Structure 1
Amino acid sequence: MHTGSPTSPHNNVVESMSALMNVSGHIDKVMNAQTLEEVKKNRLRHTATIESIHWLCLQGCALRGNDGSSYSKNQDIQKENLHILAERVRKKIREDVGSAKFCLLIDEAKDISDKDHMAIVLRFVDREAFLMERFFDIVHVSDTTAVTLKKEICNVLGRHDLHINIRDQGYDGASNMCGSWNGLQALFLMDSPQSYYVHCFAHRLQLALVAAAEKESSIWLFFSKLNFICNLIKASPKRHIELQFAQAIEIATMVATGIREKDFQVEKLNSRFNDEAVEILRLSSALEPRDNFKLFNADDIYNFAEKFYPSYFNKQELHYLKKTEKARHYHLIDILIRLVLTLLVYTATTKRSFSTMKLLKTSLWNKVEENLLEDSMIVYIEREFTARIDIDSIIDKFYSTKNNWAHLR
């Protein structure tokens, strides 16, 4: 069969037909293949960026790029990805809280640039019955009045639908926090009458001991010489052994003769530990499980629930709490235990958050933006959550907010 020259109409049609039958060579397929390869490379670069940001945050390092000018997009990329990561952590904490009641732990401190900040920590019992304290946010406040603090707290909690679940409050003893009429705890009590305020017991003990020590000249003299004594004892192992021996004899003598602290010191301790919170702890000791529930007392449990948690139990349920057949009504005891566990004992978690702030916001990084500081702190403190966050989901979220960015999907 005659086909003519290579450029004849017949051969041109045959070549076109062959190209048409080769689907992988179609222009849309070629363009799509290039686009998929480009997306793959872009996502790989973006993954490296997110992992770098994550690593820097865990090390407490500042975020920097090769171009830090105002025209560079480095800072926007870093901040946007860090914010998405931080929001994922807050979301996971919110999911862990669920519908459980929580204690609100608040404390204030100044940073390196002399700005007031308020740390917000949530204390709650999770779905698996584990007691948790989670750092949730740190907020810059224009002043530390109770009204301002409450407004900022409500803004943070409101964004995550947490406000209605406040069960207890834990602050220090400053007047703006514990004031009976205009303090922060009083403002929250107006909204939620059973959000009991508990002054950190460790702080109470410290205040009581300091007040008691100020009246004892011997204690002042001891601490003024303590550094010299320590250096003297450490210099000689023999002196160290002799000190331990003398201390053992002195303790045995004090126990044998019944020496007690002075009435003034006892009075100071009583003045710091004589409020409603102490009664709550006293009655709740009836739920102590040690020594095969040695302290278990049905009357104390009933009085505890009736006085402090009347909205959680109706009359019939309160009656069940007094009965001895606890196995049939264990769910009531479980509710009571979860409520007790949310009560504050100390505010060490909020103090640790300020230690983190001092680590992140240094004299070399004292102009860090507030949002960047907040996001960096929650990623640094709640690092166990960040390890479980899917990087691909962060990339997708970033692309959805920056859809004019390079192809990421």
Structure 2
Amino acid sequence: MCNVEVMVEQPQCASVYEEPALINEQPPTRIDIAHLIRDPSNRPQIWEYPINQQDEIRRAYINLGPYQPLMSEYPLTASYNEQVGALVLDNAPQNAKYTSHQIQKEILHVFARNVQSSIHHEIGDARFCLIVDEARDESRREQMALVIRGQGYDGASNMRGEWNGLQALFINDCPYAYYVHCLAHQLQLALIAAAREISDVHTFFQNLIFIINIVSASCKRNDELRAFQAATIEHLVDIGEIETGKGVNQVGGLQRPEIADGVRTSNPFALLMSFDFAFILHIMKNVMGITDVLCQALQQKSQDILNAMHLVTTTKTLIQKLRDDGWETLLEEVTSFCKHQDIEVPDMDACFSNVGRSHRKTKSITVEHHYRVDIFTAIIDQQLQELNNRFNEQTIELLKLSATLDPKNNYKLFSVEDICLLVDKFYPEDFSNQEKTHLRFQLQHYELDVPNHPKLKNMSSIADLCQGLVETEKSTIYPLIDRLIRLILTLPVQ
């Protein structure tokens, strides 16, 4: 009986396995180009067509352009809703089919106005801010999106422009809509990008990426590099040039970056053993070393705005000092390094010849002038400009004064005079003269009351403080302070 059942079932199994062959049936040997299926969800893939016609069909689809579906082909809403189905498409009146592009745009404008009205109704007279960010598309063009929360930018030139950018449009309409750069944006990457605006620095990073890719692509080269580095460290320890200790002199690998466009495929050893490479390497080491403390502080989850602003000031001061007094020291360091590595050092008093440019259009300059002015000074000026664009004097003062309302560490930064200065200088239109007088008296009571309140003395942020004032009904006792706190909360750094 068992054998009989097996013999009976075998044809059924055979039929099951034959079905995919029927489903994957190849298209006809010759396709009519004039009747191609337009709908991307229904048409076959290019490789499913005959090989001798694939290029022809691909060109035909390109010539046809983007597929524009007809509403009659997608009666989804009508199929789900009988009331809609009775009024649209074939059932619609001849003068109300809503297939005209103009009518469809008018309907979208109606939707947009309804959304705007709903947002306006929700916000009411409350203060708000705008956070603006952008991303590059495939064509490397910046695409911008707006989110109603704060007027902060991540630094794109079309947004931070003082006169022609988006900032100017806001300032013209609302003089007290303050520009505050997004502190969460990685400053180190922005500073490197600013330095790469200089052609010599751009070439340096291209060569650096090329060298790292060359070494990282080969396990043998990587092992040789590690072995050479270990031998070098051991030799320097033996002669006493470097100290030993826990966690120092560790042999590390190279992190492989993405390959940049236009990287030159030169001899990697020759690139490393050039004075230009060593010179820019030392400059970037010094500049990035100065700015690293600020960059790390801005990346912390719990940001100390006051200390961060102090770091901005010290960073600018140190970079300016490097520009004014650091040339001789840098040149000595680079020269010593090159001699130690058997790298040829050019004569600084010789006439500089820029390969690839017409000598008739280039002024006669010395090699020292090229390295000091065209590279050293230019790099530092780019860093200072980037820092000034992100943290101008107005922004620094605004954030410092705003920090006086921070409740952390039992309100230790609280200052009546600084808070009054904040209102007078940055929010004069939000408080009348009489309210400014009352604000001072409210602050005096606030200083003795709120820090000692059991529910308010352990607050960690201004946002928590604002919520705590509402929950304890202190916002009704100190309405002017509550208004000021809400204004500060519109700054996208709290």
TM-score by length of 1: 0.40
Computing the radius of gyration over CA atoms, which structure comes out larger, 1 or 2?
2
Q: Which has the higher strand share?
A: 1
TM-score by length of 2: 0.35
